[in-house]
Chains A and B, each alone.
Chain A
Amino acid sequence: DAGVIQSPRHEVTEMGQEVTLRCKPISGHDYLFWYRQTMMRGLELLIYFNNNVPIDDSGMPEDRFSAKMPNASFSTLKIQPSEPRDSAVYFCASSPEGTGGRSPLHFGNGTRLTVT
């Protein structure tokens, strides 16, 4: 099992540009989560999907952020237009069931985004 795969590992872009982060969850996992890590706020949930359907996007900061999961093996997080305050590490994680149960999250290696 290759684990959760995220790409790119690092992204440096200029303010105003569109950024797309990608995630491939572990096969068979029904839940996919997007988190953002910053020094100020720690690890915060942005959105999560169950069986490809977005369940809770209340953590998405604003309309510049959007996420999709077109199939069980792929999800994207898009920021358009990007701003310097979006600089952070973005993690994707998957779980075979909702983590309200006994299943831990499996994290990808994260994408470090820098917006200049």
Chain B
Amino acid sequence: ILNVEQSPQSLHVQEGDSTNFTCSFPSSNFYALHWYRWETAKSPEALFVMTLNGDEKKKGRISATLNTKEGYSYLYIKGSQPEDSATYLCASPNSGYALNFGKGTSLLVTP
């Protein structure tokens, strides 16, 4: 089973700050890296699926990069807003087709 690790565990920033989190995963037998956003009392929703080394994806103020050789991905949020408050999960497939999730980074953005 792949160990997907995320840091920091939690983060508290002020509105307008930019922030980033890290996801690390074993670089051998890499297949894909997923990012999900999980708001309180809701279900996780997919942000990005990344498969290529050097890949960079963007959705509004949120972007992600991928380094498959060293086994890490960064998620960036530019100009954080209170509505960005959520837990951000990354995940990578095991040898089959099921995702192994990290424990997430809990982000709180205060006005």
- Given the known interface contacts A108-B43, A109-B43, A110-B43, the answer about A99 and B101 at a Cβ–Cβ threshold of 8 Å is no
Q: Verify A104–B46 contact, CB threshold 8 A.
A: yes
B44: Cβ under 8 A from any A Cβ: yes
Within 8 A of A (CB), among B11-27: none
Count of chain A residues with Cβ under 8 Å from any Cβ of B?
A: 26
Partner of B98 from the list A97, A99, A109 (CB cut-off 8 Å) is A99
Chain B residues, CB < 8 A from A33: 98-99
Q: How many A-B residue pairs have CB under 8 A?
A: 66
Chain B residues, CB < 8 A from A55: 96-97
- Given the known interface contacts A42-B101, A42-B102, the answer about A98 and B96 at a Cβ–Cβ threshold of 8 Å is yes
Count of chain B residues with Cβ under 8 Å from any Cβ of A?
A: 23
Task: Report the separation of the CA atoms of residues A73 and B89 in the bound assembly, to the nearest whole angstrom.
Answer: 27
Q: Verify B103–A99 contact, CB threshold 8 A.
A: no
Chain B residues, CB < 8 A from A109: 42-43
Closest A residue to B31 by beta carbon equals A100
Residues of A whose CB lies within 8 Å of any CB of B are 31, 33, 35, 42-45, 48, 50, 55-56, 91, 97-110
